[in-house]
Structure 1
Amino acid sequence: MSNVNNLTSKILKDAEERKSSILAKAEEEKNKIITKKRDEANRLKTSMIEKAKLESATRKERILSSAELKVRNEKLLSKGKVIDEVFNMSVENLCQMNENDFRNFVKSSILSLNIEGDENIILNVNGKKAINEAFVKEINNELKDKGNLKLSQSEGKFRGGFILEKNGIEINYTFEALVQSLREELEFEVANILFN
């Protein structure tokens, strides 16, 4: 029986040694797995933090860019309104011209044009107060052979200036049209004067 006890003892001893070896290996494997997973988690955490920082920076840049664009557009819109106001004031100032200056404007403008001389002069209500048949006769005398201009009976629906009309064709010398035609040339210069 002693052999059986020895054998049992040896088996138990071997089993205990194997158990310790297996447990040590399992502990080592467990630690390797935990370390590996911890490293993966740290890499993932770092990656996620970097990605979040990048997304945050990109989003911040987009928001700032959008805000800058909005401010720029509002600034351009405001500048456009100021420029519109300047040109509208120019028309208004021309409309405030005294009668003598208005007559000189009409006369010099008509005499500078290459016209046939039998056009109708269309005026607004204020223009009709300043320009009469006697004044038109004066212009016709200076036009000599081409001098057959007439005052139109119709009243123009414009703020100031005049229109020469013949057979439905108009030469537009209204203040609105003159300022508008100059606006394209002067807008950049006016903007520089106003905003620089």
Structure 2
Amino acid sequence: MSSLNNIISKILKDAKDKNENIVSTANAEKDIIISKKINSAKEIESEMAKKSQIEAKSRKERILSAAKLKVRDNKLGAKQGIIEDIFKTSIDKLCSSSKEDFKNFILNSVLSIKVDGDETLIVNEASMNIIDEAFIKELNEALKAKGINGDIKLSSQTREFNGGFILQKNGIEINNTYEALVDSLREELESEVAGVLFN
């Protein structure tokens, strides 16, 4: 659970850090786009005045409305891109944690989920240099201390993911990769992150 709280804290901190820059950039872009469209609308209004004041006004309103929609769509796209970057940055920060933090993450995660204790631990290629037989022994001893079968084995095969681990038994996997953990929190946190960034 503390690992999930750390992920949440990191995501929210990153969101706060980027807030002012995003809002000012979006507002500056909005002002430029609206200013250009207003100038364009004024020119069109002047031309159309000769033909029909009502038609010119209607067209100006449509142009302004379209400009506002374009600004809104641009802001939404920018916001979504920023949120995506924040979640990606969170995964990157987790991946750059120390070897000791990574081992503690695996140990605490395995001890906090329901396991039989005879699963296979799968890591990515970079983590094969961190997770050794001494750690597997420590993990199994911790499971035994909880009254669980302590026979977890390290897979000789690696998988392609950024960080974290997978536990596998009989074709069933418990996915504790950083990507899966952040994705599982994403729906819950996305509106909260957006609130911190853009309100």
Q: TM-score, normalised by structure 1?
A: 0.71
**Counterparts of residues 117-128 of structure 1 (less than 5 Å):** 117-128=117-128
Tell me the distance in 1 between the aligned counterparts of 2:100 and 2:106.
10
Q: Name the structure 1 match of 2:18.
A: none
Supply the AA of the counterpart residue of 2:155: S
- Highest RCO, 1 vs 2 (Cα 8 Å, sep ≥ 6): 2
Supply the AA of the counterpart residue of 1:135: F
Q: Alignment partner for residue 183 of structure 1, among 178, 186, 189?
A: 186
Residues 103-149 of structure 1: CA deviation (Å, up to 9, x unaligned)? 00000000001111111100012211111112111111121242111
**Counterparts of residues 142-157 of structure 1 (less than 5 Å):** 142-144=142-144, 145-157=148-160
Q: 2:163 matched to 1:170?
A: no
Q: Name the structure 2 match of 1:101.
A: 101
Q: TM-score, normalised by structure 2?
A: 0.70
Q: Name the structure 2 match of 1:23.
A: none
Which segment drifts farther, 185-194 or 149-158?
A: 185-194
Q: Secondary structure at the match of 2:69?
A: helix
Count of aligned positions: 148
**Counterparts of residues 106-145 of structure 1 (less than 5 Å):** 106-144=106-144, 145=148
Supply the AA of the counterpart residue of 1:119: E
Alpha-carbon offset, residue 53 of structure 1? 2.2
Alpha-carbon offset, residue 153 of structure 1? 1.1
Q: Name the structure 2 match of 1:83.
A: 83
Tell me the distance in 2 between the aligned counterparts of 1:52 and 1:166.
76
Q: Secondary structure at the match of 1:104?
A: helix
Runs of 4+ aligned structure 1 residues displaced above 3 Å come to: none
Supply the AA of the counterpart residue of 2:183: Q
Supply the AA of the counterpart residue of 1:169: I
Q: Name the structure 2 match of 1:92.
A: 92
Q: 2:52 matched to 1:52?
A: yes
Q: Name the structure 1 match of 2:195.
A: 192
Q: Percent identity?
A: 53
Structure 2 residue runs of 5 or longer lacking an equivalent are 1-48
Tell me the distance in 2 between the aligned counterparts of 1:58 and 1:119.
69
Q: Secondary structure at the match of 1:115?
A: coil
Tell me the distance in 2 between the aligned counterparts of 1:169 and 1:57.
65
Tell me the distance in 1 between the aligned counterparts of 2:58 and 2:120.
67
C-alpha RMSD over aligned residues: 1.7
Larger Rg: 1
